[in-house]
Amino acid sequence: MQLTAQTIANHLKGDIEGNPEVTVSSAARIEQGKPGTLCFLANPKYEKYLYTTHASIVLINRNFVLQQLVDCTLIRVDNAYVAIASLLDLFNTMNSVNRKGREFPSRVSWRAKIGKKVYIGAFSYIERKACIADNVKIFPQVFIGKGVTIGENTIIYPGVKIHNGSKIGTNCIIHSGCVIGGDGFGFAPDANGIYKKIPQIGNVVIEDDVEIGANTTIDRATMGSTIICKGTKLDNLIQVAHNVEIGENTVIAAQSGIAGSTKIGAGCMFGGQVGIVGHLTIGDKVILGAKTGVTKNVAAGKSMLGIPAMEVEKFRRSFVIFRNLPELNRNVMDLMKKNNEENK
């Protein structure tokens, strides 16, 4: 796939400086740009590469002032970082759209309902009563269980497993290795202390415009539904336990874990390796820094850090004390030694 500078500028509503007919077929980092690639400059620390890059096209902000001449074609846009995200989405969409039809070997139950322009990759398996809407892309080695529904324009990458009864919305992206609707972690000890499995008979509901990173697992509910609301973005290697609810437009970074029945509000931002115990309520627009361990409810709008979690300012003051503990300890030991000598 090749795009001209003019096509890109039209898509981004940008202004061209240079050759409008130059073409690119892929994107690259500006320091690694070569002919036929498109790059962008949003961070001033990379400005030096603008004057040495071999890329054919570079996206820059409208107000950026050149310090010297450049060899590439420039496209000026309002926000280069936002523009490259839009363009990468275009590249990705065009590549995905090229996939069509059904590859063999694959198995689709005659009782499954398959929409128009659906792509089904080799070694995929779709069980009875599954309902796949128009323009869905199902890459190779995907399992889709009984009664699963998948909305229009959703992309399911290789190796995803979607268990019985799960509901996936429109325009979702589920990356390789995800397991949607696996058993929740539910066990109850009997009188002898032996753990008995609690059947997990609920499902998972993923609303529209959700993206789920590679190898993330979302367990089905014990009863009812585990719910990921629209617009939410989950990174790789996240564990979402049974009956969790995550509000709209929340973003969660890699290796985070959310225990069962916790409710997370809308517009939250969680860093990597956040851990949240079960049955808590996290309000809207909460920010949790990386490695934060949450053991109590968090009110809306709070920013938290630490284990256990505390408000950011309190954590920073506490960390200053913690960082100085070795010196404080030496001072205390010196005072104790001096006091003992004076009392002899």
**Catalytic residue annotation:** 242
* Distance between CA atoms of residues 339 and 84, nearest Å: 67
Secondary structure of residue 59 in the 3-state scheme: strand
CB–CB of 205/186 below 8 Å? Answer: no
Which amino acid type is present at position 96?
S
Instruction: Classify 276 as helix, strand or coil.
Output: strand
Backbone φ and ψ of 59, nearest 5°: -85, 130
DSSP labels, 180-246: EEEPP--EEE-TTS-EEEPP---EEEE-TT-EE-TT-EEEPPSSSEEEE-TT-EE-SS-EE-TT-EE
Residue 239 backbone dihedrals phi, psi, to 5 degrees: -110, 120
- In angstroms, the CA 306 to CA 262 distance is 19
- Burial pattern 35-65, b for ≥16 Cβ within 10 A else e, equals ebbbbbbbeeeeeebbeebebbbbbbbeeee
